[in-house]
Structure 1
Amino acid sequence: MPDSTAPGQKRPHVVVVGGGFGGIAAVRKLKRADVDVTLIDRHTYNTFQPLLYQVATASLNPGDITWFLRAIRSKQSNVRFLKGLVESMDHEAKTLKLDGGVEVKYDYLVIAVGVTANFFGIPGAAELAMPLYRRSQALAVRDKMFAALEDAAVNGQDRDLRIIVVGGGATGVETAGAFAELRNNDMPVTYPELDRKRVHITLIEMMPHVLGPFHPKLRDYAKKSLNKRDVDLRLETAVKEVREDGVLVEHNGEQEFLPAGIVVWASGITAHPTVQDWAVPQGRGGRIETDEHLRVKGMQDVFAIGDVSISPDEPLPQLAQPAIQGGKHVAKVIKAELAGKTVKPFKYKDKGTMATIGRSSAVAEIKFLPRLTGFPAWVIWVGLHVATLLGNRNRFATMINLTAKYLVWGSHNAIVGETPPVVALKPVTVEAREPRKAVSRAAARKATAKRP
Structure 2
Amino acid sequence: MTQVETPVASRHRLVIVGAGFGGLVTVQNLRNVDIDVTLIDQRNHHLFQPLLYQVATSTLATSEIAWPIRHLLRKFKNVKTLLGTVDGVDTASKTVSTLDGEVIAYDTLVLATGARHAYFGHDDWEPYAPGLKTLEDATMIRRRILTAFEKAEREPDPAKRQELLTFVIIGGGPTGVEIAGTLADLSRDTLKGDFRVIDPATARVVLIEGGPRVLGAFNEDLSAYAQRALEKLGVIVHVGNPVTQCHADGVEFAGHSLRAKTIIWAAGVQASPAAKWLNAQADRAGRLAVNPDLTAPGHPEIFVIGDTATVANGDKGTVPGIAPAAKQQGAHVAKIIKARLAGDTATKPFRYRHSGDLATIGKRAAVTDFGFIKLKGYPAWWLWGLAHIYFLIGVRNRLAVALSWLWISFTGARSARLITQREAAEEDKPL
Normalised to the residue count of structure 1, the TM-score between the two structures is 0.87
User: Deviation digits for residues 311-333 of structure 1, max 9, x if unmatched?
Assistant: 35742111111100000000100
| Residue 241 of structure 1, aligned match among 228, 245, 249 | 245
User: Deviation digits for residues 371-406 of structure 1, max 9, x if unmatched?
Assistant: 000111111111111121223332222222222212
Shift of 1:274: 6.2
| Residue 170 of structure 2, aligned match among 166, 172, 183 | 166
Shift of 1:92: 1.3
Pairs within 5 Å for 1:50-65: 50-65=50-65
Shift of 1:423: 7.7
1:379 lines up with 2:382 in the alignment: yes
| Residue 325 of structure 1, aligned match among 325, 328, 333 | 328
Q: Secondary structure of the equivalent of 1:404? A: helix
Alignment match, 1:294: 294
**Letter of the aligned partner of 1:417 in structure 2?**
I
Contact 2:184-2:235 within 8 A present in 1 as well = yes
Q: Secondary structure of the equivalent of 2:168? A: strand
Q: Secondary structure of the equivalent of 1:130? A: coil
Alignment match, 2:3: none
Pairs within 5 Å for 1:412-423: 413-418=415-420
**Letter of the aligned partner of 1:400 in structure 2?**
L
Q: Secondary structure of the equivalent of 1:210? A: coil
Distance 1:423 1:309, change over 3 A: closer
User: Deviation digits for residues 297-347 of structure 1, max 9, x if unmatched?
Assistant: 110100001111013574211111110000000010011011012463210
User: Deviation digits for residues 161-220 of structure 1, max 9, x if unmatched?
Assistant: 211000000000000000000011122222242134541100000112100010111001
User: 1: distance between equivalents of 2:427 and 2:147?
Assistant: 9
User: 1: distance between equivalents of 2:194 and 2:245?
Assistant: 33
| Structure 2 residues without counterparts, runs of 5 or longer | 1-5
**Letter of the aligned partner of 2:61 in structure 1?**
N
Distance 1:391 1:227, change over 3 A: same
Alignment match, 2:197: 193
**Letter of the aligned partner of 1:171 in structure 2?**
T
Contact 2:181-2:235 within 8 A present in 1 as well = yes
User: 1: distance between equivalents of 2:313 and 2:217?
Assistant: 19
Pairs within 5 Å for 1:29-108: 29-108=29-108
**Letter of the aligned partner of 1:291 in structure 2?**
N
User: 2: distance between equivalents of 1:23 and 1:344?
Assistant: 19
Alignment match, 1:304: 304
Q: Secondary structure of the equivalent of 2:242? A: strand
User: 2: distance between equivalents of 1:87 and 1:319?
Assistant: 25
Alignment match, 1:13: 13
**Letter of the aligned partner of 2:17 in structure 1?**
V
User: Deviation digits for residues 88-136 of structure 1, max 9, x if unmatched?
Assistant: 1101110011011111100100011111111012374233211000101
Shift of 1:282: 2.1
Pairs within 5 Å for 1:204-215: 204-215=208-219
User: Deviation digits for residues 356-377 of structure 1, max 9, x if unmatched?
Assistant: 001220000125x410001111
User: 2: distance between equivalents of 1:322 and 1:28?
Assistant: 16
Contact 1:218-1:363 within 8 A present in 2 as well = yes
Contact 1:150-1:422 within 8 A present in 2 as well = no
1:344 lines up with 2:348 in the alignment: yes
Instruction: Count matched residues.
Output: 414
User: 2: distance between equivalents of 1:412 and 1:45?
Assistant: 24
User: 1: distance between equivalents of 2:67 and 2:275?
Assistant: 25
Contact 2:41-2:82 within 8 A present in 1 as well = yes
Normalised to the residue count of structure 2, the TM-score between the two structures is 0.91
Pairs within 5 Å for 1:352-367: 352-367=356-371
1:132 lines up with 2:132 in the alignment: yes
Q: Secondary structure of the equivalent of 1:129? A: coil
Q: Secondary structure of the equivalent of 1:34? A: coil
Distance 1:12 1:220, change over 3 A: same
**Letter of the aligned partner of 2:144 in structure 1?**
K
Q: Secondary structure of the equivalent of 2:419? A: coil
Q: Secondary structure of the equivalent of 2:34? A: coil
Q: Secondary structure of the equivalent of 1:30? A: coil
User: 2: distance between equivalents of 1:127 and 1:280?
Assistant: 30
Contact 1:57-1:182 within 8 A present in 2 as well = yes
User: 2: distance between equivalents of 1:366 and 1:276?
Assistant: 36
